[in-house]
Amino acid sequence: MNLPDRETSQDSMLRDLGRDLVDAAYLEGEFVLSSGQKSRYYFDKYLFETKPDILQRIARCLAQLIPPGTDRLAGPELGGVPLATAVALETGLPFVIVKKEVKGYGTDHIIEGELHPGDHVVVLEDIMTTGAQGIGAARKLIEAGAAVESIIAVVDREEGAAEHIAAAGFAMSAIFRRRELGV
């Protein structure tokens, strides 16, 4: 006897989160992405990262993707910072902020927060197209003495990020791939 497949609570939670993410942040039009590519659609990270209900659920999902043995999280400036904060609150793991460039004032560090040589770090990203920003952040962390375990995104647009990240020598995962969101 074949029993019908039952949707798990995890499946239901992911389906609901995906729907809410698209409803909150998926835009159609003409956009230029940070990679310089033109796109007919855009996931506006600020429209989902500034909504506590969505951000909290994203943090729970990202936390489940963190490999065992991770010492620290990293949030690339700017979109990765709320993700790192939320996941740190969810997991208790400390985090660092990876700046795009030194600012020329204050501590003048490219990485803010406490990072120790040999720390096993996971880079948290919002929307990945080519993976260039995640790779750049990972390389800065390695230059500072960290071991980057993986780069984890909320959404992989499926436009080369996975291939570029693998070619750069890093593991990658994402909560959603674009096609899973039905857009």
pLDDT digits (tens, 9 = 90+) for 49-71: 999 999 999 999 999 999 999 99
In this prediction, residue 1 carries a pLDDT of 41
Look-up of token digits 């500072």? 144
In this prediction, residue 3 carries a pLDDT of 44
Checking if the pLDDT of 179 tops 50, the result is yes
In this prediction, residue 103 carries a pLDDT of 77
Residue 25 has a CB neighbour count (10 Å cut-off) of 22
CATH of the structural domain 9-181, one choice from 3.10.129.10, 3.40.50.2020, 3.30.1300.10, 3.40.50.2300: 3.40.50.2020
Q: Where are the domains of the chain?
A: 9-181
The DSSP secondary-structure symbol of 181 reads G
3-class DSSP state for residue 16? Answer: helix
In this prediction, residue 105 carries a pLDDT of 77
Provide the pairing of β-strand 111-112 with 120-128: unpaired
